[in-house]
Amino acid sequence: MLGTYTTDATISCDAYDCNGVQNGNAYINDCGDCVEGYVPCAENTPPDVNITNPPASATFADGDNITIQVNATDSDGAVVKVEFYSGTTKLGESVSSPYSFSWTNVQAGTYVLTAVVTDDDGLSTTSEGVSVSVLNIDCNGVAGGTAYIDNCGDCVGGNTGLQACPQIKAQAEDVSCSFDGVIDNNNAGFEGSGFINGDNAAQTMVTFTIDAQESGSVVFGIQYANGGTADRPCQILVNGVEEIASFSMPVTAWTDYQNVETNISLQTGMNEITLVALSANGFASLDFYYLYGNVSFGECDVTQIITLSQGWNLFSTHIYSADSSVENLFSGLDVKEIKTEDNFWVASLPAQLNGISHIEAGKGYLVYMNSAGTLSLTGTVINNPVVEELQQGWNIVGVPVQTEIAFSSLFDETNCQRIKNFDGFWQPDGGTYTIQNLQPDTAYFMLQ
């Protein structure tokens, strides 16, 4: 140890201090610094950091990139790194100035951003949090907008100026054309006059019709109640073809009516819908059906009887029949020939030479009967325009309605020159003529 020691002889010991001075007085203090005399430890100053971008309360759109920039300094040393956080989740870090990080494809939500700076002495400082909001983009392209896709697949609400398509509802007991069961009203909570209480057996059925103005997919739903102990699903057939293999109607209570819905595909015109119970307990209680779109619930099957005399007849139907082939409709009748303005069917010709194979509901036809007969069609009533687009010159016009309509309510000198059949004619000049109205079951010659 540094000093002079005396025994029987005097010995001098030399040493160097922390500054390299022989017999010097410098020493290492508690802070690890080489000092002379009393020098207190100098405290390490923590680094400073603050977020300069984005500003507080900034808003972004869903999927945007957010660039986070900070100002980081250390007064008594150097910045080693800056780490970037969203809440407690580390997003990334930067080890050189300018300190920034790009947060990509940020999803909708509210986030608190912070930055943590660390200096060369290992001290760290966390910045104040900066709150930002990332807003959903609505279907009209507006960040934070309120437009949405309705049940018809259209973007409505918000700043679109459009309203959602309405729900089209029909009571099951009113529009179901056939069903295995009874109409009951003993479980409160239903709408209308009651509900369909189906037989407690699998493969029981309910049928009704939907009239679609165009082909495509629509939302179809049922309000039901199921007070049993298990789901009571059903199969959904559209025009006899399976559309939904199993449509669930879970347990509720017999007085707790709930809605379930799915999408079904329809063809243009009348569609027959068949529900087939899959459970041994049959259906749930069926209160009402509902739809969205350019559709309506159709009427149940009716029968149209058309009397045809021997010779030439003008006729049309207002019934959509499942089998409208000439072969089926005129089975058992002594018919010679059927014509339209531009096509024909002749009994003596092979099928491949005949241009008419089916009778189209609402369309007018000219038929020659070798002997009088009665044409009978069973199906659903169509919902077609009274008069479709006509060609220049003579047309054969059918009557797609069940009640007669005055010619004068549909035609004037701008769209008609003359209407005639085998009983007379009519002209749009205000005169008195032998025929005045479109009559169901028949057809007319019309000069456009």
Same domain? For 126 and 87 the reply is: yes
pLDDT(421) > 90? yes
pLDDT(17) > 50? yes
pLDDT(74) > 90? yes
Same domain? For 348 and 445 the reply is: yes
- Dump the DSSP string for 78-123: -EEEEEEEETTEEEEEE-SSSEEEEE-SPPSEEEEEEEEEEETTS-
Copy the structure tokens of residue 297: 């619930």
* Enclosing domain of residue 59: 48-135
Same domain? For 262 and 181 the reply is: yes
Same domain? For 327 and 375 the reply is: yes
Q: What are 421's strand-pairing partners?
A: 424
Mean pLDDT for 203-223 is 95
pLDDT(102) > 50? yes
Sign of CA dihedral 243, 245, 249, 250: negative
Predicted pLDDT at 43: 73
256 CB-side CA count, 13 A = 8
pTM given for the model: 0.54
pLDDT(2) > 70? no
**Which pLDDT band holds residue 10 (cuts at 50, 70, 90)?**
very low
Q: Is residue 143 in a domain?
A: no
Same domain? For 224 and 308 the reply is: no
Same domain? For 14 and 106 the reply is: no
Predicted pLDDT at 1: 44
Q: Is residue 189 in a domain?
A: yes
Same domain? For 211 and 328 the reply is: no
Same domain? For 201 and 262 the reply is: yes
pLDDT(116) > 50? yes
Q: Is residue 110 in a domain?
A: yes
CA angle 105–82–43, rounded 5-degree value: 160
Which domain-ending residue is among 297, 320, 341? 297
Q: What is the pLDDT of residues 156-174, one digit of tens each?
A: 999 999 999 999 999 999 9
Which domain-ending residue is among 277, 297, 317? 297
Reduced to 3 states (helix: H, G, I; strand: E, B; else coil), residue 367 is strand
Predicted pLDDT at 89: 97
The span from the CA of 92 to the CA of 101, in Å, is: 7
Whether 228 and 197 have beta carbons less than 8 Å apart is answered as no
Q: Is residue 159 in a domain?
A: no
Look over the chain and give the mean of its residue pLDDT values, rounded to a whole number.
91
- Dump the DSSP string for 17-28: -TTS-BT---EE
Mean pLDDT for 108-124 is 96
Same domain? For 211 and 179 the reply is: yes
The span from the CA of 318 to the CA of 325, in Å, is: 15
Predicted pLDDT at 11: 43
Q: 67: Cβ–Cβ under 8 A, 6 or more apart, which residues?
A: 53, 54, 100, 101, 102, 103
Q: Is residue 167 in a domain?
A: no
Mean pLDDT for 111-135 is 96
DSSP 42: P
CATH code of 70's domain? 2.60.40.10
pLDDT(9) > 50? no
Copy the structure tokens of residue 259: 């809605």
Predicted pLDDT at 389: 76
Q: What is the pLDDT of residues 371-395, one digit of tens each?
A: 999 999 988 777 666 776 788 899 9
Total tally of structural domains belonging to the chain: 4
19 CB-side CA count, 13 A = 10
Q: Is residue 232 in a domain?
A: yes
Predicted pLDDT at 385: 67
CATH code of 195's domain? 2.60.120.260
Percent of the chain with pLDDT over 70: 95
Q: Is residue 78 in a domain?
A: yes
Q: Is residue 140 in a domain?
A: no
pLDDT(12) > 50? no
Predicted pLDDT at 26: 85
Predicted pLDDT at 34: 86
Same domain? For 292 and 212 the reply is: yes
Predicted pLDDT at 352: 93
Which domain-ending residue is among 280, 297, 314? 297
Same domain? For 252 and 358 the reply is: no
Whether 132 and 53 have beta carbons less than 8 Å apart is answered as no
Copy the structure tokens of residue 363: 């369309």
Same domain? For 327 and 405 the reply is: yes
Residue 250: is the preceding peptide bond cis (ω within 30°)? no
